[in-house]
């Protein structure tokens, strides 16, 4: 009988696990220094929680099941509904603003393809209880802080910023009927990924005429804040949403103050697929890449209310590990991650194995990463094994003395056993 992993899932052997940990630890460190606190929720929830408010696409991609008690459950495809549920449950006792992050494992029954798997990890950053666009700016800062920390510069990645309310105002002014908005937003969401011809065909299919498609293009193709402000002044139908234009302008100034405007660009083609966004939206892409977004987010001021809570402002983003890893490889930002072995302990004479065991026990209890060989073999072979494991040094022990060999320099020093144990890493060169 042969067993294989399920299509679209990954086995994390130690080498890929080190990279996954490097990514998640960077996300965690950056979150903490940006003032966010970590939370998590169960891997499965009541099915309803995920179907009530998410877009059609997510509801179709659920792994759902019924437990022995007849409950309809599903593995989480995103963590935002669980976040909203948790916030709502303690809404009166949580100090605001709530600045939380999470690193959930998520599952979606999608067709696996490049950058899209059935199981993945997603960094989530959310700020609850702040209406000011400064919260949106801070979320974008956190995303950029992590990308920069991983070695991706403003030449490598770009945060493309759009606006849901301005997009809606434009559609309304163009005479698109409100009942088609969700379908039309789906087509707009696809525009950056397809050719203009394909866009034209799709838009026609959902009932848009040539004039409407032109209006969409004029709006979506504004290239900067000044052009957007000019358009808003010139087009009467934007007069009702001057505050949304002002929000984008304010956001832009804050991104400049935060020192990350070089990573950002205005892009009204960004609308985001999910149904629950209400304000500023954004996606992060590799520059010059056709790959899907590495992160996406925005404001969702209605979601907590939709899930049984009060109306409360909320904004945040998610960044997935699958597209990020592809991008990091393309930009040569994946570091060389080795095993952290400090000392490889070797039996240097017959009968020294109990001493090896005792030394290993003492070293590990003192916080030193210590390894040894299970095979009783010559010192030369064990030194080879020490080298294969990337050990910083080898300690060849006898009844009461130790020869410490620095694996980087080859330098050896003889020490008394008790002296060695008192300061086992003394005089060694740094880990490679």
Site for a second copy in 255-284 (CB under 8 A): 257-260
Q: If binding is defined by CB under 8 A, does position 10 make contact with a second copy? A: yes
Q: CB neighbours (10 Å) of residue 149?
A: 13
Which class for 374: exposed (0-12), middle (13-18), buried (19 or more C-beta within 10 A)? exposed
Task: Figure out which of the listed residues 58, 125, 130, 215 binds a second copy, where binding follows CB under 8 A.
Answer: 130
By beta-carbon proximity to a second copy, the closer residue of 4 and 195 is: 4
Q: If binding is defined by CB under 8 A, does position 422 make contact with a second copy? A: no
* Cα(96)–Cα(312) distance, integer angstroms: 11
Within 333-352, which residues bind a second copy (CB under 8 A)? 339-342
Piece in contact with a second copy (CB under 8 A), picked from 73-81, 205-213, 239-247, 412-420 = 73-81
Which class for 416: exposed (0-12), middle (13-18), buried (19 or more C-beta within 10 A)? exposed
Instruction: Give least dist CB 331 to a second copy, A.
Output: 19
Question: CA angle, 366 as apex, 363 and 371 as ends, to 5°?
Answer: 30
Piece in contact with a second copy (CB under 8 A), picked from 61-69, 168-176, 237-245, 292-300 = 61-69
Structure token digits, residue 6: 């399920």
By beta-carbon proximity to a second copy, the closer residue of 14 and 380 is: 14
Within 161-220, which residues bind a second copy (CB under 8 A)? none
Task: Figure out which of the listed residues 23, 125, 128, 141 binds a second copy, where binding follows CB under 8 A.
Answer: 141
Q: Answer for the pair 398, 355: CB distance below 8 angstroms, yes or no.
A: yes
Q: If binding is defined by CB under 8 A, does position 112 make contact with a second copy? A: no
By beta-carbon proximity to a second copy, the closer residue of 208 and 343 is: 343
Piece in contact with a second copy (CB under 8 A), picked from 58-66, 153-161, 206-214, 231-239 = 58-66
Q: Answer for the pair 248, 228: CB distance below 8 angstroms, yes or no.
A: yes
Q: If binding is defined by CB under 8 A, does position 250 make contact with a second copy? A: no
Which of 207-235 are b and which e, b meaning 16 or more Cβ less than 10 Å from the residue's Cβ?
ebeeebbebbeebbebeebeebbebbeee
Q: In this structure, is the dihedral angle defined by the CA atoms of residues 300, 305, 309 and 312, taken in order, positive or negative?
A: positive
* Cα(363)–Cα(341) distance, integer angstroms: 12
Task: Figure out which of the listed residues 19, 24, 105, 231 binds a second copy, where binding follows CB under 8 A.
Answer: 105
Q: If binding is defined by CB under 8 A, does position 398 make contact with a second copy? A: no
By beta-carbon proximity to a second copy, the closer residue of 97 and 115 is: 97
* Cα(365)–Cα(205) distance, integer angstroms: 68
By beta-carbon proximity to a second copy, the closer residue of 28 and 287 is: 28
Question: Contacts with a second copy: how many residues (CB under 8 A)?
Answer: 95
* Cα(213)–Cα(207) distance, integer angstroms: 10
Instruction: Give least dist CB 98 to a second copy, A.
Output: 9
Q: Which residues, at least 6 apart from 30, have a Cβ–Cβ distance to it below 8 Å?
A: 142, 145, 146, 149
By beta-carbon proximity to a second copy, the closer residue of 146 and 222 is: 146
Instruction: Give least dist CB 273 to a second copy, A.
Output: 20
Within 11-50, which residues bind a second copy (CB under 8 A)? 11-14, 17-18, 20-21, 30, 32-35, 37-46, 48-49
Piece in contact with a second copy (CB under 8 A), picked from 128-136, 192-200, 202-210, 397-405 = 128-136
What is the dihedral angle through the alpha carbons of 293, 298, 302, 307, rounded to the nearest 10 degrees?
Answer: 50
Using DSSP bridges, classify how beta strands 72-75 and 63-66 pair: parallel, antiparallel or unpaired: antiparallel
Cα 143 to Cα 27, 100, 146, 159, 308, distances in angstroms: 9, 14, 5, 9, 29
Within 368-397, which residues bind a second copy (CB under 8 A)? 368-372, 374, 388-389
Instruction: Give least dist CB 163 to a second copy, A.
Output: 21
């Amino acid at each position: 009988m042969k067993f294989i992993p399920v299509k679209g899932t990954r086995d994390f052997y130690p080498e890929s696990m080190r990279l996954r940990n490097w990514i998640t630890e960077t996300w965690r460190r950056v979150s903490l220094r940006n003032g966010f606190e970590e939370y998590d929720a169960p891997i499965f929830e009541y099915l309803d929680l995920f179907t009530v408010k998410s877009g059609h696409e997510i509801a179709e991609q659920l792994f759902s099941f019924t437990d022995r008690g007849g409950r309809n459950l599903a593995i989480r495809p995103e963590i935002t509904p669980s976040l909203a549920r948790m916030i709502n449950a303690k809404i009166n006792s949580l100090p605001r603003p709530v600045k939380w992050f999470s690193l959930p494992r998520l599952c979606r029954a999608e067709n696996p393809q490049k950058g899209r798997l059935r199981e993945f990890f997603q960094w989530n950053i959310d700020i609850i209880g702040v209406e000011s666009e400064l919260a949106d700016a801070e979320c974008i800062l956190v995303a950029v802080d992590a990308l920069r920390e991983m070695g991706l510069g403003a030449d490598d990645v770009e945060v493309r910023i759009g606006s849901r309310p301005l997009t809606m105002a434009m559609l309304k002014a163009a005479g698109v009927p409100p009942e088609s908005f969700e379908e039309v937003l789906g087509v707009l969401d696809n525009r950056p990924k397809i050719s203009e011809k394909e866009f034209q065909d799709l838009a026609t299919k959902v009932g848009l005429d040539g004039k409407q498609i032109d209006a969409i293009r004029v709006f979506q193709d504004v290239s900067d804040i000044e052009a957007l402000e000019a358009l808003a002044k010139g087009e009467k139908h934007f007069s009702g949403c001057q505050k949304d234009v002002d929000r984008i302008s304010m956001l832009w100034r804050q991104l400049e103050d935060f020192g990350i405007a070089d990573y950002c660009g205005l892009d009204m083609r960004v609308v985001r697929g999910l149904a629950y966004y209400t304000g500023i939206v954004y996606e992060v892409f590799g520059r010059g890449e056709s790959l899907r977004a590495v992160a996406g987010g925005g404001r969702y001021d209605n979601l907590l209310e939709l899930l049984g809570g009060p109306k409360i402002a909320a904004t945040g983003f998610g960044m997935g590990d699958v597209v990020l890893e592809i991008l990091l490889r393309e930009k040569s930002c994946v570091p060389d991650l080795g095993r952290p072995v400090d000392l490889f302990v070797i039996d240097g004479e017959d009968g020294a194995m109990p001493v090896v065991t005792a030394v290993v026990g003492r070293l590990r209890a003192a916080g030193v990463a210590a390894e040894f060989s299970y095979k009783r073999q010559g010192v030369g072979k064990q030194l080879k094994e020490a080298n294969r494991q990337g050990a910083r040094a080898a300690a060849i022990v006898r009844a009461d003395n130790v020869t410490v060999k620095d694996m980087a320099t080859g330098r050896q020093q003889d020490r008394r056993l008790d002296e060695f144990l008192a300061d086992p890493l003394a005089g060694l060169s740094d880990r490679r």
